[in-house]
Amino acid sequence: MRKPKVIILGAGYGGIITSKELETILNKGEAEVTLINKHDYHYISTQLHKTSAGTAVDEKVALHIADLLKKNVVNFKKGIVDHVDFVNKKVMLENNEIYEYDYLLIALGFDVDTFGIPGVEENAFKIRSFRSSKAIQQHIQEQFNKYNEDGDLSRLTFIVAGAGFTGIEMVGELIDQLPKLCKKYEIPLENTRIVNVEASDSILPFFDQKLIDFTTSYLKKNRVEVVTSTKIVECNKEAVILDNGYQVPARTLIWSGGVRANRLLERWNLQLVKGRIPVDQYLRVKTFEDVFCVGDAAYFEVEENTPLPATAQVAIQQAQVCSSNLVAAIRGNALKPFIYHHKGTVASIGSRAAVGNVFGVKLTGRLASLMKQVIEARYLLVLGGPGLLLKEMFNVKFKKS
């Protein structure tokens, strides 16, 4: 009998966890599963701010997919997905290779939203992928290097746009990293600036006041200039222009102003809501019952017009239910509805502090930072068991392609 073909698009949180779960749930030879991803590594998106600043070693953020999938249940294909023909059930890659499927999972994640602000798309740095984060890291180092040649202070001004979760985490890493770079390049720390620009009237608007106050005072203590109620209206290679008329000379704008679903989805003739694919309670794409979607690409409505947020926590929980639903669909069994359980949120501010809310308990400072490390370690355990956790602690090196 012909084995059903399952294709998984994207090896981020949603795609890799689904693949791992299928390794366990599927019987031997029950289905032919193929995971397709742009790169041969899985990057931990929630740590990209560390790669961007240069505070994490690459091996802790990007993990070889071959090392994660070991049971010969899921085949891995490195390739860039271009198009899906939902009628004829075919996935087309950029290199014109075609993959047929019986069941498809779309887990293609996020893109950065720059809201059409002039100059941002071309000149700002985006925390979008491992590669784009490495580009930020290299650019920052280059600015220190060049400052020693031309003394141009705009090279040492680092502007982070957005004081939401990602923006604050990025600022936190810069707080940790700039003193190290100053020491390396023998430059006084006072010559550097970190400016955090936020359009709304508060940083971390989804957290309560106690956590906001802690963060604000931590940032101030570390010389971060926080500018709220201010929009960036334009940027070029040498300056960032604000809506209050100020022009801040800076060669680095790191854009953390917002994310949206992968733009590729817009080319697939699907009915999107806010750029994401609406899914039913079983995580199936509403118009195609054999197509599932999880993570940032999925629009899962909890109440009318209120989707689940685009977070790793959501993507992981959805992947766990989606994998069992894929197997149920193959076996002709009933599918399980997805119910989200919010466990809390912790935002790091560098390696020494964090703020968060875990199971309703508010945490700040080192305790919150410790909790963040526990969350990160827990993900490695889910992904690869104690073996992976230990391996990551010992920092085994590999070459990325």
Q: Which residues bind ligand FAD (CB under 6 A)?
A: 10-15, 36-39, 45-46, 48-49, 80-81, 107-110, 127, 129, 165-166, 169, 262, 264, 295-297, 310-313, 315
Q: Which is nearer to ligand FAD, 153 or 400 (CB)?
A: 400
Which one is catalytic: 169, 173, 198, 392? 169
Q: Which of 292, 290, 282, 279 is nearest to 330 (CA)?
A: 290
CA end-to-end span of the chain, whole Å?
Answer: 37
Residue with tokens 């679903």: 261
**Tokens in use for 5?**
């073909």
Minimum distance from residue 163 beta carbon to ligand FAD (Å): 13
- Answer for the pair 68, 42: CB distance below 8 angstroms, yes or no: yes
- Answer for the pair 35, 19: CB distance below 8 angstroms, yes or no: yes
Alpha-carbon distance 142 to 150, whole Å?
12
- Answer for the pair 325, 283: CB distance below 8 angstroms, yes or no: yes
Q: Which is nearer to ligand FAD, 13 or 292 (CB)?
A: 13
Q: Please give the sequence-ordered ranges of beta strands (E in DSSP) within 107-205, or none if there are none.
A: 110-112, 125-126, 157-161, 193-197
Q: What angle do CA 317, 36, 76 make, to 5 degrees?
A: 100
Q: Which is nearer to ligand FAD, 8 or 235 (CB)?
A: 8
Q: Which is nearer to ligand FAD, 233 or 388 (CB)?
A: 388
Minimum distance from residue 275 beta carbon to ligand FAD (Å): 13
Alpha-carbon distance 156 to 194, whole Å?
9
Buried b (16+ CB within 10 A) or exposed e, 19-44: bbbbbeebeeebbbbbbbbbbbbbbb
**Tokens in use for 317?**
């929980």
Tell me the CB-side half-sphere exposure of residue 112, using CA atoms within 13 A.
22
120 phi/psi in degrees, rounded to 5: -70, -45
Q: Which is nearer to ligand FAD, 231 or 342 (CB)?
A: 342
Q: Is 169 a catalytic residue?
A: yes
In this chain, which residue has its C-beta nearest to ligand FAD?
12
Q: Which is nearer to ligand FAD, 38 or 362 (CB)?
A: 38
Q: Which is nearer to ligand FAD, 185 or 282 (CB)?
A: 282
Minimum distance from residue 73 beta carbon to ligand FAD (Å): 19
Alpha-carbon radius of gyration of the chain? 22
126 phi/psi in degrees, rounded to 5: -115, 140
Minimum distance from residue 102 beta carbon to ligand FAD (Å): 20
Report, as residue numbers or ranges, the catalytic residues.
169
